[in-house]
Structure 1
Amino acid sequence: MTQTADTATPRPDSSGPPGPAPARTTWQRMRVWGIAHAVDDLYQGLVPATVPYFVLDRHYGYVAASGLTLAATLGSSVPQPFIGLAVDRMRLGWLAGVGVAIAGISLGLSGLVPSYAAVWCLIMLSGLGIAMFHPAAGKSAREDAGDSAAAMSVFAAGGSVGFFLAPVLATPALIAWGVGATALFIPPAVLTGYVLLRRRRRHAVPASAAARAGKDRWGPFAALTCLEVVRSVAFFGVNTFIELYWIRHLHASRGLAGAALTVFLAGGVGGTLLGGRIADRIGMVRTVQLGGALALPMLAGLVLTPGSIAPLLFAVLTGVCLNLPFAVLVKLGQDYLPTRPGTAAGVTLGLGVSIGGLLSPVLGLIADAHGPRGALTALLVVPPVALALGLLLPEPSRTA
């Protein structure tokens, strides 16, 4: 009865009419996880937003500044698969709440400590908190989402929203108060951690849901991981160079360049949500393949369309198409590893995404030689590779 009550839709004190309980909307089922993911990835997005202000306020050199980015990336990416393994073997659902709290508190304190070594360690600790959150939250969110890709897309889109909001919220505060303004972002992490821990205590742990039947298929999962890495290379590449492309190649204002980045990230949020709904109708693998097929003409339109206004449309559509498979890949990875949902979430949400950022310096070398347009043009090879990898993926029903 405990497990049945955990998955039923009415609240414990409800006294509705007999018969099936009224179904909750996707947002009602997943809003806690979507918001928590947004708060967690807010701190991932705050690192690149705050690094320039460490340079300005603390007079760090470029090498020191890049070291802070490296600290965040190492802390958030490398541990995630190992944390995922631990989450699958032990009951560590509390890691989601503790992880987001550590991520926010550490990032918030980084702007208050005086020494570079302390800043570096706090930012790496913040990355570790992010790494703690993703596998545990991804496993629990999947239990609440069931087999709905649209529901899982709410969780995945939360991360995109958090990354999108980071510079929007941080820049005005950093301009007004300097790097010490990072302390303003501690309360959301503490509150979110409290809500997640309280929610976990209130709801029984669905042990049967965690132990899903099925055979782990490492071959398809390896192909999926490669596809996630390739997709993230394109996303990080566009995210890094789109503003410079507008300023240096299209000779647009900084305001318009910022608008290009904004609409690209907004398109990514929309694409994540849209991908889940499409997957529920045409299948997850077809949705992944559709994203790869559509990304090429949209990215080409971004690079080839003249003017500084018309390419904004392709900036939006590129964000949509690159993120169309994002939530689907998270769910699909858990379907390929049904007995290891935490490991799958750690790889698809953490390692696969972060490695794309680590490969950005290669695009930087291309940009040094051929400008930001050259870097964006080099990304045209990514969608065909993603599509080819997508053709290797079987539908989950064939992996049982």
Structure 2
Amino acid sequence: MGSQSFSSAPLQAENLLYRRALYTFSGAHFLNDLVTTGMVPALVVMYKHALDLNYTQSTLIVLVSYFASSVTQPVFGMLTDRRPRVWLFSLGVFLSISGLAFTAVAPSLGWLLVCIAVSGFGSGVFHPEASRGTHFASGLKKGLAQAIFQVGGNAGQAVGPLMIPLFLAHTGIHGLIWLLPVAFLSLILTVPLLGWMNGKVQNIKRTKKEMAGKNHIPGVILLVLVIILRSWCQVGVVIFLPFYLKHASLETTELLNFVFVGAGALGTLFGGMISDRVGMKRLLVVSMFLATPFALLLPHLSGWLSVLDLLCFGFSVLSSFSVGVVYMQKLLPKNIALASGLSIGFGVGAGGIGSVFMGGISDLFGVAAVFTILSFLPMIGAILSWFLPNEKKLAS
């Protein structure tokens, strides 16, 4: 009896949340997304004026950032599923921050895009290992753990636009160089966790052949499409709201972006907490359907009603963010890093492609046309979500 309880102790430990690691992953995610998906879209307005760019050239900045991230995430996900490289966790967040810092001294659009590409590449190599580490630290609470991890990223996205009115509006683009000390601080945060991550990877190697479940490719394709539509909603609002509200100050529009993305961070936390009770597929369908009326109303509101609408829109459309990651891991049970690369990387990064498409629409038909398109994306996403496989059947 004593030996049985002793042998069950490691198993019980595996089922518990490793909070120190989890909050480190979340903190690193905050720093990474602060500069990539948070600041880069918000900086488009400043880059546009500094280098005298048109709308299409301006959104090309977001495309390069997101494309560099979206291509590298699934690629490195596949590579690290075969041979994990935990040091990419620290290197990635360092490159994402320092790459954006050097845009402060970029003399032309070409050099600016090079620096942005380095930052996007860093984000791409960071996410697979960070998401895998979160999976290791989650124990049995997969939804909650991914919610905490994703809230870190969403909080970074929300705070990113606030850097414009609080700091960069006073320093200009050149103030970005002060991100370099933050890049080195990220190493102090992340490097101490690499030993624990490596130990977990070695344990997984020994048990990988015994893992149950098969990859569900049709479900993966469908979920990626849903994530792309959700990403287009988010990127479209963050980039084009300052252009749409052209009579409002830059500080006002960035505060509205904070409301939208900040509400999304809160929605992510709540979505992750309740997904284990109501089911991931149900949460995904309902959240996208709930976002539809708020997306439809957004172009027709002003004043405090628009703030309230952005709050509800952000909360609903982004409440499935962490759920999408766990869902993808269930669809790809033998490829955890690839699952995060597709759900956080390729799917979300495709928002960059959507931003350039919407930039072209703005040049041809005006910014209002973009918000008309955004109005219908959550509804399409909800319909596609309905055809996803039930996660309970995947687990059985």
Under TM normalisation by the shorter chain, which class is it? 0.7 to 0.9
Query: Given the superposition, is the C-alpha separation of residues 186 and 84 from structure 1 closer, same or farther in structure 2, using an over 3 Å criterion?
Result: same
- Structure with greater helix percent: 2
Question: What is the correspondence of 1:46-61 to structure 2 with a 5 Å cutoff?
Answer: 46-57=39-50, 59-61=51-53
Greater shift in the superposed pair: 183-192 or 316-325: 183-192
Supply the RMSD in Å over aligned alpha carbons: 2.9
Matches of 2:268 and 2:106, distance apart in 1: 37
Residue 399 of structure 1 corresponds to 394
Matches of 1:156 and 1:271, distance apart in 2: 11
TM-score (norm 2): 0.86
Residue by residue, what CA displacement relative to the aligned partner does 1:286-330 show, whole Å, maximum 9, x if unpaired? 11011121011222232344x422221111000011101111001
Matches of 1:134 and 1:4, distance apart in 2: 31
Residue 120 of structure 1 corresponds to 113
Matches of 1:133 and 1:4, distance apart in 2: 32
Question: What is the correspondence of 1:217-228 to structure 2 with a 5 Å cutoff?
Answer: 217-228=216-227
Residue 13 of structure 2 corresponds to 8
Residue 278 of structure 1 corresponds to 274
Residue number among 12, 37, 40 corresponding to 2:29 in the alignment = 37
1:225 Cα deviation after fit: 0.7
The answer on whether the counterparts of 1:80 and 1:351 sit within 8 Å (CA) in structure 2 is yes
1:175 Cα deviation after fit: 3.5
Is 1:238 aligned to 2:237, yes or no? yes
Greater shift in the superposed pair: 294-303 or 262-271: 294-303
Query: Given the superposition, is the C-alpha separation of residues 177 and 3 from structure 1 closer, same or farther in structure 2, using an over 3 Å criterion?
Result: farther
Matches of 1:338 and 1:223, distance apart in 2: 17
1:397 Cα deviation after fit: 2.6
1:117 Cα deviation after fit: 4.4
Listed as ranges, the gaps of 5+ residues in structure 2 are 1-5
Matches of 2:19 and 2:254, distance apart in 1: 30
Question: What is the correspondence of 1:251-270 to structure 2 with a 5 Å cutoff?
Answer: 256-270=252-266
SS in 1 for 2:350: helix
Residue number among 328, 335, 338 corresponding to 1:340 in the alignment = 335
Amino acid at match of 2:240: F
The answer to which structure, 1 or 2, has the higher relative contact order (CA under 8 A, 6+ apart) is 2
Matches of 2:244 and 2:145, distance apart in 1: 35
Residue 197 of structure 1 corresponds to 191
Matches of 2:352 and 2:63, distance apart in 1: 10
Residue by residue, what CA displacement relative to the aligned partner does 1:196-229 show, whole Å, maximum 9, x if unpaired? 2221224522444473432111111111111111
The answer on whether the counterparts of 1:83 and 1:132 sit within 8 Å (CA) in structure 2 is yes
Greater shift in the superposed pair: 271-280 or 200-209: 200-209
SS in 2 for 1:359: helix
The answer on whether the counterparts of 1:49 and 1:171 sit within 8 Å (CA) in structure 2 is no
Matches of 1:64 and 1:32, distance apart in 2: 36
Amino acid at match of 1:75: A
Residue 349 of structure 1 corresponds to 344
Residue 177 of structure 2 corresponds to 183
1:185 Cα deviation after fit: 1.0
Residue 81 of structure 1 corresponds to 74
Q: Percent of aligned positions with the same letter in both sequences?
A: 27
1:366 Cα deviation after fit: 4.3
The answer on whether the counterparts of 1:3 and 1:206 sit within 8 Å (CA) in structure 2 is no
Query: Given the superposition, is the C-alpha separation of residues 3 and 56 from structure 1 closer, same or farther in structure 2, using an over 3 Å criterion?
Result: farther
Amino acid at match of 1:360: S
Residue 16 of structure 1 corresponds to none
Matches of 1:215 and 1:99, distance apart in 2: 30
Matches of 1:189 and 1:351, distance apart in 2: 24
Matches of 1:367 and 1:116, distance apart in 2: 20
Query: Given the superposition, is the C-alpha separation of residues 302 and 134 from structure 1 closer, same or farther in structure 2, using an over 3 Å criterion?
Result: same
1:177 Cα deviation after fit: 3.3
Residue 86 of structure 2 corresponds to 93
1:2 Cα deviation after fit: 12
Amino acid at match of 1:276: G
The answer on whether the counterparts of 2:227 and 2:348 sit within 8 Å (CA) in structure 1 is yes
Matches of 1:141 and 1:227, distance apart in 2: 23
SS in 2 for 1:91: coil
The answer on whether the counterparts of 1:247 and 1:257 sit within 8 Å (CA) in structure 2 is no
Matches of 2:305 and 2:180, distance apart in 1: 40
Residue 157 of structure 2 corresponds to 163
1:171 Cα deviation after fit: 4.7
Amino acid at match of 2:70: S
Residue 17 of structure 1 corresponds to none
SS in 2 for 1:330: helix
Query: Given the superposition, is the C-alpha separation of residues 155 and 351 from structure 1 closer, same or farther in structure 2, using an over 3 Å criterion?
Result: same
Residue number among 83, 90, 104 corresponding to 1:111 in the alignment = 104
The answer on whether the counterparts of 1:50 and 1:174 sit within 8 Å (CA) in structure 2 is no
SS in 2 for 1:79: helix
What number of residue pairs does the alignment pair up? 382
Deviation above 6 Å: which 4+ runs of structure 1?
1-4
1:158 Cα deviation after fit: 1.4
Matches of 1:159 and 1:38, distance apart in 2: 4
Residue by residue, what CA displacement relative to the aligned partner does 1:54-83 show, whole Å, maximum 9, x if unpaired? 4555x4544765554443233212221111
Listed as ranges, the gaps of 5+ residues in structure 1 are 10-20
Residue 3 of structure 2 corresponds to none
